Chain A
Amino acid sequence: MIFVLSGNYLGRLIDKRIETLNSAVLLIKEIKTRINYQKISLYEIINDILSEGPYRQFSELKKTELYVSDGMSFSDSWSKCVDESAELRVLKNDERALLKSFAKQLGASDMEGQNENFDTYTELISQKAKLLEKDRLNRVKLCNSIGLLLGITTFILFY
C-alpha cells in the first residue's frame, strides 16, 4: 500500500516537473517571439510575460532587474532568482542548471545569436521533458508493481 501510495506521489512530482519544464519551453518561445517582433528591452518583456497567469512558477525572475541594478550581471541575477524560487525547487539540479545557462546569452548578442540561443534551449528543455514523461510511466509502474508484489507476499505469509 505504502509503495503504491509512494508510486502515486512520485508520479505527481514528476508530473509537476514535466509541467514546469513545458512552461519553461513556452516561456522561452514567448520571449523569442516578443524579441523578434517588438525589439523592446528584455526587462519590459520579462515583466510583461511574468505578470500573466501561465508563467506564475517563474514570477521570481522579475527580481532579475533588481539584482542587476545592485551590480550583479544579468546571468548571475537570473541564476539567483532561479535558486530562490520556491516553485522551481521541484526541478532537479540539472534541470535548473539548464534554465540558468539559458540566461548566459540572453540579451547579450544580436538577433541571430538570440534566436540560436532560444532554439537551443527550447530543444534541450523539451527533450528533458520528453525523457521525463517516458521515465514517469516506468517509475510509477515499478512502484505500483513492487507495492502489489509486497502486498501479495504479506497476504500469503500471514494468511
Chain B
Amino acid sequence: MNAGKSTAFNDIIYLFPIKYKNLFFSINEDVKREIREIRIRSSKPIVIVTAKGSAFLNSASRLTYILSDSLPTVSENDLKEIVSRACSYSVYSHQENINRGFISLEGGHRIGVCGTAVKENGKTVSVKNISAVNIRFSKEIFGCADKLFATVFDSKPHNTIVAGPPLSGKTTVLRDLIRQASSGYSGTYYKCAVLDERGEISGGGSSGNTCRLGPNTDVLTGYGKAEAIEIAVRTLSPDIIFSDEIADEKEAEEILNGIMCGVSFVVTAHCTDFNELCERPCIKLLKESGYFMNAVVLGTGENVGKIKNIYRLGRGKNEKNRYYDFSDDFRFERELLRKIN
C-alpha cells in the first residue's frame, strides 16, 4: 500500500558523487524512510529533515543535532556535479526549470536550486554559482486521502481548498485523492485533469508519469496554470480539475472561470492556519465567490497529511463558517501509540 520512503531514497542516490555515496547508503533504513528533505549547501554540513525537524549528517552516517567542524561538507564542485547528475548532464535542457528554481526528478521528487540569478531585461536567463540544493522526496501513500475523499465527494465533487504549511503532505494527499476519484472509489470514474506545472504530482519524467493517478486521469505537465485550465476545460471535458499550489489572483480568476463552465476544482494552498489562508488575496477571491464548499487544513510534524480542520465555506454572505475540529483524532492516536510502545 505504501510505496515506501526507502525506495524514494534509492531513487535519488545516483545524484551523489562516489565519495558521498557510502555516506548516504550507510544511513539506517528506518531513518531513510523518515527523511523528507536533504539540504546540501556549499562547504556546509549536510542537513537531513525528518518529522522531528532538521539534523546534521555525521561521518558515521548518523543524524546528530550537534554542530561541529568534523561534520562532512560538500564542496562547490561536488554541488555542481549533483546538479549536473540531476539533469542527466543536460543542464541546458533543464534551464527553464532551473531559472524558476527547481529541477524535477523521476518519481515526482524535486530539487530546489539556490544560486545567483543572471538577468536580462528583467527576466532570469540563467543561474550561476549554485550555492545550495534542497532534495525533496515525493511519495505515494495509498489511503491517506480517505477522509478527505469522503469530505470532497459526499454526493458529488465539491470545490475544495486543501491547505497547510510546507511539508504538511498536501501534494501526497492530493495525489491519493486524484487516484481515488479517477478509480471510481465513489462509484463513478470521474474524469480528472491534473495541472502539474512542476511534474510533482504525477512524478513526470522522461519515462512518463511514474505516480499512480488512476485510469481516468489526464495530466498537463509544464503548462502555466491559466493556460492549463483553458486547455483542460476546452479540450478534456473534465469532471474535476486538480491543481497544486495556487499562488495568485490571476490563477484564482481562471479557476472561477472554469467553475462557471461546470468543472469542479480541488486546489492546494500554502498557509499555517485558516485565518492566514483567508487573508491571501487569491483565496479570498475563491472564498467570496461562494463556489468553494470546503477548506481543509492539514497537520504537520507527526500529524503530517492528516486533516486538522475542515471549514465549510458554503454559499452566501449570511451563511456562517462552520468547522469540524479533528485534533481529537491526533490525541487518540498518540495515546494508542503510547499503549503499544
When distances are taken between beta carbons in the complex, the residues of chain B under 8 Å from A111 are: 92, 95
Say yes or no for A73: interface residue by CB 8 A criterion: yes
Question: Which of the candidate stretches B14-22, B67-75, B242-250, B311-319 sits at the interface with the other chain?
Answer: B14-22
Check B91 for interface membership: any CB of A closer than 8 A.
yes
Cβ of A97 within 8 Å of any chain B Cβ, yes or no, is: no
Does A42 lie within 8 Å of B18, measured CB to CB? Answer: no
Majority SS at the chain B contact face: helix
Q: How large is the interface on B (under 10, 10 to 19, 20 to 34, 35 or more residues)?
A: 20 to 34
- Select which of B21, B91, B93 is within 8 A of A71 by beta carbon: B21
**B21–A41 CB distance below 8 A:** no
Whether A42 and B95, one on each chain, are in contact in the complex, defined by CB atoms closer than 8 angstroms, is: no
Q: Return the contact of B90 from the options A41, A71, A73 (Cβ within 8 A).
A: A41
The yes or no answer to A108 lying at the interface (CB within 8 A) is yes
Residues from 55 to 92 in B contacting A, C-beta threshold 8 Å: 80-81, 84-85, 87-92
Task: Give the Cβ gap from B10 to chain A, nearest Cβ, in Å.
Answer: 14
Beyond A107-B87, A110-B126, whether A41 also contacts B93 by CB under 8 A is yes
Contact yes or no, A107 B92, CB < 8 A: yes
A47 to chain B, nearest CB (A): 12
Q: Mark B119-135, 1 if CB is under 8 A from A, else 0.
A: 00000011000000000
Q: Tell me the nearest residue of chain A to B18, going by C-beta.
A: A71
- Against B, the Cβ 8 Å flags (1 = close, 0 = not) of A31-44 are 00001000111110
Contact between B91 and A107 (Cβ–Cβ < 8 Å)?
yes
Expressed in whole angstroms, the Cα–Cα distance for A69 and B17 within the complex equals 10
- Judge if B206 is at the interface, Cβ distance under 8 Å: yes
Query: Bound complex: CA of A68 vs CA of B21, how far in Å?
Result: 13
Bound Cα distance from A111 to B98, whole angstroms: 13
The answer to whether B18 touches A107, judged by C-beta atoms less than 8 angstroms apart, is no
Nearest-CB distance from A94 to chain B (Å)?
A: 25
Q: Is the CB of A35 within 8 A of B89?
A: no
A residues 79-113 with Cβ under 8 Å of B?
106-113
Q: Decide if B126 touches A69 in the complex (CB within 8 Å).
A: no
A74 touches B (CB below 8 Å): yes
27 residue pairs from A and B, CB less than 8 Å apart: A39-B93, A40-B90, A41-B90, A41-B93, A41-B206, A42-B88, A42-B89, A43-B89, A69-B14, A71-B18, A71-B21, A73-B17, A74-B84, A74-B89, A106-B89, A107-B87, A107-B88, A107-B91, A107-B92, A108-B80, A108-B91, A109-B91, A110-B98, A110-B125, A110-B126, A111-B92, A114-B92
Interface residues of B (CB under 8 A from A): 14, 17-18, 21, 80-81, 84-85, 87-93, 95, 98, 125-126, 206
